[in-house]
Copies of this chain bind each other. A is one copy, B any other.
Amino acid sequence: MREPRQYSARVITRMSELFVRTLRQDPADAEVPSHRWLVRAGYIRRAAPGIYSWLPLGYRVLRNVERIVREEMNAIGAQEVHFPALLPKEPYEASGRWTEYGEAVFRLRDRKGAEYLLGPTHEEMFTLLVKDMYSSYKDLPLSLYQIQTKYRDEARPRAGLLRGREFVMKDSYSFDIDDEGLAKSYATHRDAYIKIFNRLGFEYVIVHAMSGAMGGSASEEFLAIAENGEDTFVRSPGGYAANVEAVRITPPAPLPYDDAPRAHVEDTPDTPTIETLVNLANARLPRPDRPWQAADTLKNVVLMITEVDGSRHPLVIGVPGDRELDLRRLAAQLEPAEPEPFSDEDFAARPELVKGYLGPVRFDSSGERAAAVLGEESITKIRYLVDPRVVSGTRWVTGANEPGRHVFDLTCGRDFTPDGIIEAAEIREGDPAPDGSGPLTLARGIEMGHIFQLGRKYAEALGLKVLDQNGKLVTVTMGSYGVGISRAVAAVAEGTCDDKGLCWPPELAPFDVHVLAAGKDDLVTTAAADLSVRLDEAGVSVLLDDRTVSPGVKFADSEIMGMPTIVVVGRGLSDGVIEVRDRRSGEQIEVAVEDALGAILAAVHGPTRLG
């Protein structure tokens, strides 16, 4: 079921009248190509940081994305509703998110002092609406969606529409009586998303994802593959794909340690870094079997964590010394709490933490284990989490909690016991896929869609229960499915533009064909206008460049603006031919005027355009 295109231009749009101006210069604040070209081509204008106005061409693309999403949502029987953007505090207080959101949400008071927020997502509203209307298992399954303007007070809005503070999203929710129903609804949405992203016409990948602050279980993201994307994902030759934040490495098996050597503290002067430590160890304390490596060391990184209630406390994370802590992976694990590096002031306030020589255990002067230094049960009471590779029986070189001294053969499970594990070490090109499907490669992407099994979190918090077949009240289980509509405009632009400008896939282009009247004489302008009318009558949307500017300016503008097919009516006309160009490939053919309509229709509807 397709919605008819919303812009069946029955009136030819003329460049002489279209509200657009292309710019010859890049805008100063444009960080990425999509932003640069969308501004230069006259599609959007910045109104405030992370907040944009849509010009006619841009708005047509946005509405095309909306149309595709709406058609595919309707096709799976999802029903469209529309919530306010200005939302009362109460439901968000009931779910705990009024506090959890912290500074990321815009808040305001009305003239009577009542508190509101500008909706960043609408889980609470969907849940309460279904609770208001439905009461029986017979009412389920149900899928509702909306296409809505959303708000997030991003700390660092960037990249134009890619990370804005006011943006358009499609969000849908499924409501089922049990997990089996949820799995079905999830699969149905997943299929619809594949159709949506195929129609958007650019390269994407489906990856395992974190469910983040939302709670829930199965979770996948649709990422546009893009160098400038904010997300990093991994793939293996065997088909594993995951957002790097969601990668869960396969931990090694625990090792026996009965025969392991005793831990021994060594003088390691001037070894504040892993590299200096490994060099010193190889020089002064060589291993018999092989040289010491960074992976033999255990690096303990101190962070300051801010909880949503504003309280702060330190946290130490131990990772093998050959890997950096990946701050985004870490932040994803800790959400909604926020980690920051431990500052010099923080260290000064905790003199028991010996910077550069921190480790889980302190030793006395005779080298005997004196006390645990890291962990909730230790003398510092600081929570201590380690990388999954730090399993029982593994032996480490790590800080001895004295300047210039490290301990060797410190054995996990024997000499120290972490409070838990955390997936916060970097994932590297060539690391094995967790499912054994081969070495991972890394790439960057833009999150375009996210589907996940939200479960009962909101239904429980807000009391959404229905009677089951036995007359018993059961909590409904929900799925959550989002598509970034305005972000899609930028992501598609980012994935399809070239060094000349925008280059739209057919379903998103503001117009199918850009007809250039490339010449001043009446024959040219008349022929171009006639052809435009005939194309329009044949159901093709046309932008006619009828301006009095030079052909060169028209060529350049048509390349910047990016309609899929460019038709040049110009010098060739005296020889009875016009030129049809494919914006993407740059291919151009000359066709006889009398064959022009057919040739253009073939180009618009041709196989290369349906791919």
Chain A residues within CB distance 8 Å of chain B: 1-6, 8, 10-11, 17-21, 42, 45, 47-48, 51-56, 59, 62, 74-75, 77, 79-88, 103, 106-108, 110-111, 114, 116, 118, 125, 129, 132-134, 142, 144, 149, 151, 153, 155, 165-166
Contact across chains for B8 and A74 when beta carbons are under 8 A apart: no
A86 and B165 contact, Cβ closer than 8 Å, known pairs A3-B8, A144-B19 = yes
Contacts of A6 in B (CB 8 A): 3-4, 6
A19 and B51 contact, Cβ closer than 8 Å, known pairs A118-B86, A155-B111 = no
A59-B82, A85-B149, A111-B153 known; 13 new pairs, CB 8 Å cut-off, are A4-B5, A19-B79, A19-B133, A21-B134, A52-B84, A54-B81, A55-B133, A56-B79, A85-B85, A86-B106, A86-B118, A86-B165, A110-B153
Smallest CB separation, A479 vs chain B (Å) = 16
Contacts of A87 in B (CB 8 A): 47-48, 51
Report Cα–Cα, A59/B132, bound state, in Å: 18
**Number of copies of this chain in the oligomer?**
2
Report Cα–Cα, A103/B8, bound state, in Å: 43
- Which one, B21, B77, B83, B125, contacts A133 given CB within 8 A? B21
Smallest CB separation, A535 vs chain B (Å) = 16
List of 10 A-B pairs having minimum Cβ-Cβ separation, nearest first: A4-B4, A108-B108, A54-B82, A1-B10, A48-B88, A103-B111, A56-B79, A51-B84, A19-B79, A21-B133
| Chain B residue with the shortest CB-CB distance to A86 | B166
A83 and B53 contact, Cβ closer than 8 Å, known pairs A11-B74, A47-B125 = yes
Contacts of A142 in B (CB 8 A): 19
Smallest CB separation, A131 vs chain B (Å) = 11
- Which one, B51, B125, B134, contacts A53 given CB within 8 A? B125
Contact across chains for B81 and A56 when beta carbons are under 8 A apart: yes
Of A2, A10, A52, A155, most B-chain CB atoms within 10 Å: A10
Smallest CB separation, A403 vs chain B (Å) = 40
Report Cα–Cα, A210/B77, bound state, in Å: 47
A88 and B47 contact, Cβ closer than 8 Å, known pairs A11-B75, A53-B83, A77-B11 = yes
Q: List 5 A-B contacts (CB under 8 A).
A: A1-B10, A47-B88, A48-B87, A53-B83, A110-B165
Contact across chains for B108 and A166 when beta carbons are under 8 A apart: no
Of A10, A53, A59, A153, most B-chain CB atoms within 10 Å: A53
Contacts of A155 in B (CB 8 A): 111
Contact across chains for B84 and A166 when beta carbons are under 8 A apart: yes
Contacts of A144 in B (CB 8 A): 19
Contacts of A118 in B (CB 8 A): 86, 108
Contacts of A62 in B (CB 8 A): 82
| Chain B residue with the shortest CB-CB distance to A1 | B10
Contacts of A84 in B (CB 8 A): 47-48, 51-53, 166
Contact across chains for A18 and B79 when beta carbons are under 8 A apart: yes
Contact across chains for A129 and B80 when beta carbons are under 8 A apart: no
| Chain B residue with the shortest CB-CB distance to A106 | B108
Report Cα–Cα, A32/B264, bound state, in Å: 84
Smallest CB separation, A43 vs chain B (Å) = 11
Report Cα–Cα, A165/B116, bound state, in Å: 12
Contact across chains for A45 and B4 when beta carbons are under 8 A apart: no
Contacts of A133 in B (CB 8 A): 19-21, 42, 55
Contacts of A47 in B (CB 8 A): 83-84, 87-88, 125
| Chain B residue with the shortest CB-CB distance to A167 | B84
Contacts of A110 in B (CB 8 A): 106, 153, 165
Contact across chains for B56 and A129 when beta carbons are under 8 A apart: no
Contact across chains for B8 and A4 when beta carbons are under 8 A apart: yes
Report Cα–Cα, A56/B77, bound state, in Å: 12
Report Cα–Cα, A537/B129, bound state, in Å: 33
Smallest CB separation, A421 vs chain B (Å) = 33
Smallest CB separation, A73 vs chain B (Å) = 12
